[in-house]
Amino acid sequence: MNYSIGNIFVTTVHVISAILAVGGVAFFRFAALPYAESLPEDQKQNCMQALRAKFVPILHGSFAMLILTGIHHITRLIRTGVGIPDLLIVKIVLALIIVFIGVALTMKTGFEAMKAKRETYLTLNLILAAVVVLLGIWITHG
* Model pLDDT for residues 15-39, shown as the tens digit of each residue: 999 999 999 999 999 999 999 999 9
- 43-46: long-range contacts, CB 8 A cutoff, minimum separation 24: none
Query: For residues 87 and 50, what is the distance between their CA atoms, to the nearest angstrom?
Result: 39
Inter-CA distances, 25 with 69, 81, 85, 112, 126, Å: 20, 36, 28, 18, 7
Nearest 5 degrees, angle CA 26-CA 128-CA 114? 75
Task: Give pTM, 2 decimals.
Answer: 0.89
pLDDT digit string, tens, across residues 36-63: 999 999 899 999 999 999 999 999 999 9
With H, G, I as helix, E, B as strand and everything else as coil, classify residue 84.
coil
Residue 1: is its pLDDT beyond 60? no
- Helix or strand run (H / E) with residue 142: none
User: How far apart are alpha carbons 35 and 12 in whole angstroms?
Assistant: 33
Residue 4 reports pLDDT greater than 90: no
5-27 helix and 41-80 helix, angle to the nearest 10 degrees: 160
